[in-house]
A and B are shown apart, each in its own frame.
Chain A
Amino acid sequence: AQSVTQLDSHVSVSEGTPVLLRCNYSSSYSPSLFWYVQHPNKGLQLLLKYTSAATLVKGINGFEAEFKKSETSFHLTKPSAHMSDAAEYFCVVTYTTGFQKLVFGTGTRLLVSP
């Protein structure tokens, strides 16, 4: 069965410091992987996606993630955190094509302090 594990329920950083949100996946097939962000009272927004093209994926707002098959990981990073990055982040895997059947991780809440 396909699944994702987000290793940290909360991550706290200071503004201007790097962000690392960890995600490991389990998949019997070549997975498609995504990171979504959820701000309060707003819909989930797609940050970036990996669909078997380049292993280093660049997304919106300066985020990027690297697909590492040997480590079954898809960690999300950003060089410098901004206050507006504070939100809930979900790592997601799908085992079908076309964004069907998204399987969500448990989420990581990113806290950014001044």
Chain B
Amino acid sequence: GAVVSQHPSWVICKSGTSVKIECRSLDFQATTMFWYRQFPKQSLMLMATSNEGSKATYEQGVEKDKFLINHASLTLSTLTVTSAHPEDSSFYICSARGSSGSDNEQFFGPGTRLTVL
């Protein structure tokens, strides 16, 4: 299957700082990328959907000014957690979907663990 990478795999930051997480599709062009959040021992919750070259669509309850998503190219999407606080500590996972056909699988990255002190 297709490969999706995330960088960094883990990050620790101080409260009030901003953190950027990158999601890359390595061997295919991703017209759509998804960002999920996973709390310990809980399920993945979709945060937002982004299409290349357009604004992201955020799920209800997700603050778009806090979680900035950029999908500027067909292989890269970034999630920036602005003014991070301890409650933002979580496991962030991206997935990417290609453009061919109407029933394309989402390929998931390995995740980024964010710890805010």
Interface residues of A, Cβ cutoff 8 Å to B: 9, 36, 41-46, 49, 51, 90, 97-102, 104-107
Contacts and interface: CB of A to CB of B under 8 A. Distances in A.
Given A97-B102, A98-B103, A98-B104, A42 B110 contact: yes
A46 B105 contact: yes
Contacts of A44: 44, 93, 95, 108
Interface string B76-117: 000000000000000001010100011111111111000000
Interface residues of B, number: 26
Contacts of A105: 43
Contacts of B49: 100-101
B42 interface: yes
A84 to B, nearest CB: 17
A91 B44 CA distance: 11
A98 B102 contact: yes
A107 B43 CA distance: 6
Contacts of A104: 43-45
